[in-house]
Chain A
């Protein structure tokens, strides 16, 4: 546990370079910021600006080429694959644009999965998963498979799965990208609710309106942070000018 007030996430001059056909692509090119517990932050920027790459690094799915990443006061770089897996399991809840549910498993089965890898006994696992599904309003869909659910319901299952292990933060990469606007709105309201309950949320989005509703937003461009401030300002919809990084 980090001390009160210490940021949950600190990244400093984070780089992530890909080499494609002898050419170096700087997907992240010196990114620095901090995020405190309980914040709801939107990550915005054009396609290819490095948003997903950043999320992957913050989610411990990918390791930076250079720079430091401290999560909960501990350095992430230099950890083994197993340690990273354990971090993902305990500290991070992922929500993806394409839901990424296991097609053969039921809603309950999908939500229990992170707990399987944590070694939680089956009965307890089930109880926790039911609770998480209730929290996203899916009490009556426990035994449905993903193809028996609507898009919005699938995303709710995915959010329940992200929440079930009580992680330090939720990482959502365009969670409304595959949903119609009404359903997307429902999901965003769910995030808002989770934020009010104290969850830390990072949300990648293309939609300025959505970013404007977040208390804070970070704008990326070509792997750099070009703006970091109040959501409405960074999204360019508010009255106050964006704060240059």
Chain B
């Protein structure tokens, strides 16, 4: 232990003497470590975002919509744009399918809205939905106060609204929001229920939504809408069967022939997980390739520094041997030096990669979260590179002849 500390101390003092050269040569190592940390932070961030987005769906729920909710790889967007909209009739027709329990037909405006009271207003960030009572199970809503929409709200065309907790807090601070009036595009709605708080995921609140009965939605927004259909299978295990039934039925209703592709997309927790895994594998492969290349370049840089260092310090090595250093002392000294060098590059790279991920998150709202394992992995990789590429120079140092070594200038 003592000996290792001594070796480390010696290594650090030599590296300190060559800071600039060390940093320049370490660029490859820095890039390698930074790549691992940054890419894995983005992957991890996306994973967290997706899993919370989809955990929002109730158990056994899945979605059908015109637009892909997320898409990786090339898609023909013009073709997607030409898809006919999903209609309420198509949605209603899915109710009779054997493995479907609930059908939540949801209309969304193209932009976020704002809600107002005579005294206050929310920001322009409210996700308004024109829905049905089935919205509740399909979206895993938990009622905190009051009630969710009911069938009579729809039948009587009531102007009522079920809101997220943030809206209640903003418009009615310190008051009970239930029974109060809020306005949407000037149209008054009565608050009948408030959802339990879901909190924020990566800085975005999940409590800024408002659900109104769809007839009321149509009166406010007219025909301007995107239609989503959220469905709940008879049980979570029945989701695949339910999806098959829904796809077959929609294809028939939308007049697709056998060779046409689906002109709609569907998502369940499973398909999103699968999609995410594909993406993560792609990112991991790209990261692996970049990182391997960078570490190779960095490793060669380290080998170069160390070879130069061995040459410059040939006399020192001879003197150390004359004073009683064994070959393995010299070997260890140079290995510790190259690992220390490489690790300091790795540490710097971790900082750069982490800073990159976090600033992308802050500036561009890219989901990112730095996983500890990625930090450890990149440190491990850089240390290994230092070790591997340090072996040859260290061996060369340890095999020097002391008399010859002391004679060099």
Which A residues form the contact surface with B (CB < 8 A)?
56, 59, 61-62, 81-82, 85-86, 88-90, 94, 96, 100-102, 104-105, 113-114, 116-119, 121-122, 161, 165
Contact = CB atoms under 8 A, between A and B. Distances in A.
Q: What size tier do the contact residues of chain B reach?
A: 20 to 34
B323 A89 contact: yes
Given A56-B403, A96-B406, A119 B324 contact: no
A85 B315 contact: no
B315 A62 contact: no
A116 B325 CA distance: 9
Contacts of B329: 117
Interface string B301-332: 00000000000000110111111111111000
A98 B294 CA distance: 43
A213 B189 CA distance: 115
Nearest to A57: B403
B316 A102 contact: yes
Nearest to B319: A100
B324 A114 contact: yes
Contacts of A89: 323-324
Contacts of A122: 2, 6
B2 A161 contact: no
B406 A86 contact: no
Contact of A104 (B6, B13, B323, B402): B13
Contacts of A165: 324
22 contacts: A61-B322, A61-B403, A81-B327, A85-B324, A85-B327, A86-B326, A88-B321, A94-B323, A100-B319, A100-B322, A101-B319, A102-B316, A104-B17, A113-B323, A114-B324, A117-B325, A117-B326, A119-B2, A119-B3, A121-B2, A122-B6, A161-B323
B14 interface: yes
Contacts of A116: 3, 6
Give 6 nearest A-B pairs by CB, closest first: A89-B324, A117-B324, A85-B326, A114-B323, A100-B319, A82-B326
A121 B316 CA distance: 22
Nearest to B402: A61
Given A56-B403, A100-B406, A94 B6 contact: no
Contact of B14 (A62, A96, A104, A161): A104
> Interface centre among B14, B320, B328, by most A CB within 10 Å?
B320
A88 B327 CA distance: 13
Contact of B323 (A56, A117, A119, A121): A117
Nearest to A161: B323
Given A61-B402, A122-B2, A81 B326 contact: yes
A82 B324 CA distance: 9
Contacts of A82: 326-328
Given A56-B403, A81-B327, A86-B326, 4 more contacts: A89-B324, A104-B17, A114-B323, A117-B320
A105 B323 CA distance: 15
A56 B406 CA distance: 11
A122 B5 CA distance: 10
A88 B319 CA distance: 11
A122 B322 CA distance: 21
A25 to B, nearest CB: 15
A186 B6 CA distance: 34
Contact of A59 (B2, B318, B322): B322
Contacts of A119: 2-3
A230 to B, nearest CB: 31
> Interface centre among A88, A101, A122, by most B CB within 10 Å?
A88
Given A96-B406, A121-B2, A86 B324 contact: yes
A27 to B, nearest CB: 11
Contacts of B321: 61, 85, 88
Nearest to A85: B326
B135 to A, nearest CB: 72
A113 B320 contact: yes
Nearest to B328: A82
> Interface centre among A85, A101, A119, A165, by most B CB within 10 Å?
A85
Contacts of A100: 315, 318-319, 322, 406
A104 B15 CA distance: 11
A116 B319 CA distance: 13
Nearest to A81: B327
Contacts of B326: 81-82, 85-86, 117
Contacts of B14: 104
Interface in B109-130: none
A88 B323 contact: yes
Contacts of A121: 2
A125 B291 CA distance: 44
Contacts of B6: 116, 122
Interface in B311-363: 315-316, 318-329
B322 to A, nearest CB: 5
Contact of B319 (A59, A86, A102, A118): A102
A104 B13 CA distance: 8
A100 B3 CA distance: 23
Nearest to A120: B2
Interface string B14-57: 10010000000000000000000000000000000000000000
